Amino acid sequence: MIVGGVQVINAGLPLIVEGVPAPDVTQLDWRPPAFSDLAAARAMVALDDETTAAANAAAIAAVHAVRPRVVGIRPARAVIGALAGPKRTMLHAGPPIEYSRMCGPMRGALIGAALLEGWAATPAEAEGAIAAGEIAVEPCHHHGAVGPMAGVVSPSMPVWQVVDDTGPAPRHAFATLNEGLGTVLRFGAYGPEVVDRLRWMSEVLGPVLDAAVRASEPIDVTTLIAQALAMGDEGHNRSVAASALLARRLAPAIAPLDGAVEVLRFLAGNDHFALNLSMAAAKLCMDAAAHVPGSSLVTVMSRNGVEFGIRVAGTGDRWYTAAVGPAVGLFFPGYGPDDANPDMGDSAITETLGIGGFAMAASPSITSFVGGTPADALAASRSMRRITLAAHPAFPLPPLNFAGSPSGIDVLKVLDTGELPLINTGIAHREAGVGQIGAGIVTAPPEVFLAAVHGLAAARGVET
């Protein structure tokens, strides 16, 4: 006996089943692969073979084998070669971009750094020197470094130095120290209070933390992140647990040092302090797969406020870029979407590894900050699992019954599913120096994955 007549499953446009009673239709959420780009779809299919699978398995295994440990906090010039030379050089977030095309906040941050270094006496002079190329600007990612938002690193700034010493030669990665919220360089502010704080960070904060780290038990950053994921951090927009654990752990070694009270007060007031350390660790992990021939693993996602760029293991240092939009989220009172700068910063290295937006499930509280509900957070992590190579074995997400966080974005899976990587991010005002005006979620643009699949096919010499 057939009860209730015909049941329809529709994989096409809803238009096709118009006229069929709605309760009888199951609409499949299906879209053509590769964002409907036929050439990319062909390349995707051609690359979906055992060679890619083996390369991807090797790549993600290399990433997950890294256990970043903090070496210390050193002046950038002492540990990043490009900043030690006679040529005046600064680093910035995202893929390469010349000064004339940069957004306001990134320009502001570079001006502030030039003032900090004493390379210019006024903002105008700084701007002139950078525009004229007397001060070089290069991406952090070209030098093993990462920085949030504008991501500017100049020689005197103290940086986290993390090491992977499990391989034949030790590898390092670097990130600046987090300045806190408010009027800060990374959002493009460069007034006296900003430069004075940076100077204090160079002269007091950096050396005190360095001495404390060296006097303490080694800090295993993987364990710190895992603990924080069990404490409501997702590791990008929310780092309060990691920051508090880090401060508590370093406090006994900080206490006897000159400047201890100021440093401990700074740590007590900075809920994002551990973000930059997580970023350095994520960079170190992803660099382990920076050059794996044949692998479609995304090793870098980053934004410079104008373009979104990715790098892929199988094509090494090559960037695939596309225009980036602003994040969608919630604004602080008095601001709105018209004030927002397009998304910016190297902090998406956290999502590249598999925390941040990918670990949203761990952080129901972040949803009320970026807009959304705890159910959205679970859905976000589940959907990111569809485009990643593995669950990270060291990052269990308690609310998902301790399943590992989705880790290792696969270009082919992104094209196959049409799911785009989600990034939790702060929203900067488009004018230099106004600062953070909100927080939200940005998705990587499809174009970078479409370009990457052709790059991978060409590198493999695969006919498409």
Q: Which residues bind a second copy (CB under 8 A)?
A: 3, 230-233, 240-241, 243-245, 247-249, 251-252, 254-256, 260-261, 264-265, 267-268, 364-365, 368, 373-375, 398-402
Residue 37 region by backbone torsions, left for phi larger than 0, else alpha for psi between -120 and 50, else beta: beta
Nearest to a second copy of 191, 399 (CB atom): 399
Nearest to a second copy of 96, 399 (CB atom): 399
- Least separation, in Å, of the C-beta of 265 and a second copy? 4
Nearest to a second copy of 76, 359 (CB atom): 359
- Least separation, in Å, of the C-beta of 407 and a second copy? 20
Nearest to a second copy of 14, 256 (CB atom): 256
- Least separation, in Å, of the C-beta of 19 and a second copy? 25
- Least separation, in Å, of the C-beta of 227 and a second copy? 8
Nearest to a second copy of 191, 259 (CB atom): 259
Instruction: Report the relative pairing of strands 69-75 and 89-92 from DSSP bridges.
Output: unpaired
Nearest to a second copy of 61, 260 (CB atom): 260
- Least separation, in Å, of the C-beta of 264 and a second copy? 4
Q: How far apart are CA 46 and CA 1, in angstroms?
A: 47
- Least separation, in Å, of the C-beta of 219 and a second copy? 12
H-helix segments, 255-406: 260-268, 273-287, 349-353, 364-370, 374-385
In contact, 249 and 219? CB cutoff 8 Å:
yes
Nearest to a second copy of 2, 13 (CB atom): 2
Distances (CA, A) of 43 to 37, 53, 120, 434: 10, 15, 50, 44
Q: Please give the distance of CA 199 from its chain centroid, rounded to a whole number.
A: 26
Nearest to a second copy of 96, 259 (CB atom): 259
- Least separation, in Å, of the C-beta of 381 and a second copy? 13
* Angle in degrees, CA 272, 361, 35, rounded to 5: 100
Token code pair at residue 452: 């990457």
In contact, 274 and 242? CB cutoff 8 Å:
yes
- Closest alpha carbon to 213 in 179, 252, 239, 174: 252
How many residues are listed for the chain in this entry?
464
DSSP letter, residue 49: S
- Least separation, in Å, of the C-beta of 117 and a second copy? 30
Token code pair at residue 415: 């094209």
Coil/strand/helix, residue 74: strand
